[in-house]
Amino acid sequence: MEPRGQRSGRTGRPPRLSQEAILVAAQRILDTEGPERLSMRRLAREMSSTAMALYHHVQDKDELLLLLLDAHARRYPRPVLPSDPHTRLLASAQVLHDLLADCPWIAEVLSFDDFVSESALWIVENIVDAAVECGMALEDAVYAYRVIWHYTAGVLAIRAGRERVQARAERPEHREHALEFLDSVDFPRLNAVGRRWAGLTARDDHRKGLEAVVAGLLEQKAGSGAGETAAVAGAGAEAVRGCPCC
């Protein structure tokens, strides 16, 4: 909890490094050279120190990444969220995405925990709360949060994966080949899609899907009377539930 840098006893040599300074230097490497270049050794070099000195201020690399995430979340401006529950559910889920979208190294740290980071817990609280105010039971609201989190994590992980590949090899022919390949394959729907697939790889993928996910979650809560969900556990033979309000 309390950074080891600031002690009160003032014995021994004064520290040259501090967790604060380490996080700043790490963030600088992240920004200028990308997440794949951030290593304990590289970071130590950045600070004109040795890799081992870092271990006096962070437990290991994983903790470093977690601290980095937490610091980012702490810096992130807390927006005023709408009061209408449905809109707030959407808006807070969007904030979750936007906050994490700035952390391309997030994929390396995905789900040490289900709640992203202590400094981002207010977002989780908002999502769960909004879901409850939308009429969901607390358990369902928590589940809704997790579905939203999974969707968001998927968007982020795939985006990070793509950026990783693009960063390492500057070859757009890769993508070219992939699209020509879609034409050559023997699946009518995919052939029809063909090159149009490329246009769909926009950076703001996330939003429309999020709306659908939220809408589906809200619809589901309306149709959950008895233990229906238990009945639809099989892979391919469950009934189609109609719209619950007609």
User: How many Cα atoms within 13 Å fall on the side-chain side of residue 196?
Assistant: 5
**Measured at the alpha carbon of residue 155, what is the angle toward residues 106 and 180, in degrees to the nearest 5?**
120
Identify what 52 binds: DNA, a copy of itself, none; CB under 5 to 8 Å per kind: DNA
Q: Which of 157, 166, 155, 147 is nearest to 213 (CA)?
A: 147
28 vs 135 by CB, closer to a copy of itself = 135
Which of 2, 14, 199, 240 binds DNA (CB under 7 A)? It is 14
Q: Does 241 sit near DNA (CB under 7 A)? A: no
Burial category of 182 from C-beta neighbours within 10 Å (exposed 0-12, middle 13-18, buried 19 and up): middle
Q: What kind and span of H or E run contains 30?
A: helix 19-33
Q: Does 154 sit near a copy of itself (CB under 8 A)? A: yes
Hunting for tokens 């449905």 — which residue is that? 86
Q: What kind and span of H or E run contains 121?
A: helix 121-133
Identify what 5 binds: DNA, a copy of itself, none; CB under 5 to 8 Å per kind: DNA
> What Cα–Cα distance (Å) separates residue 185 from each residue in 174, 178, 179, 198?
17, 11, 10, 16
Q: Does 115 sit near a copy of itself (CB under 8 A)? A: yes
Binding to DNA in span 36-75, by CB under 7 A: 37-42, 49-53, 55-57, 60-62
Q: Does 137 sit near a copy of itself (CB under 8 A)? A: no
13 vs 189 by CB, closer to DNA = 13
Nearest distance, CB of residue 170 and a copy of itself, angstroms: 15
Question: Using CA of residue 235, residue 238, residue 243, residue 245, what is the dihedral sign?
Answer: negative
Query: Using CB under 8 A, which of the segments 21-29, 32-40, 44-52, 113-121 binds a copy of itself?
Result: 113-121
Nearest distance, CB of residue 56 and DNA, angstroms: 5
Q: Does 103 sit near a copy of itself (CB under 8 A)? A: no
Binding to a copy of itself in span 175-204, by CB under 8 A: 178, 181-182, 185, 187-190, 192-193, 196-197, 200-201, 204
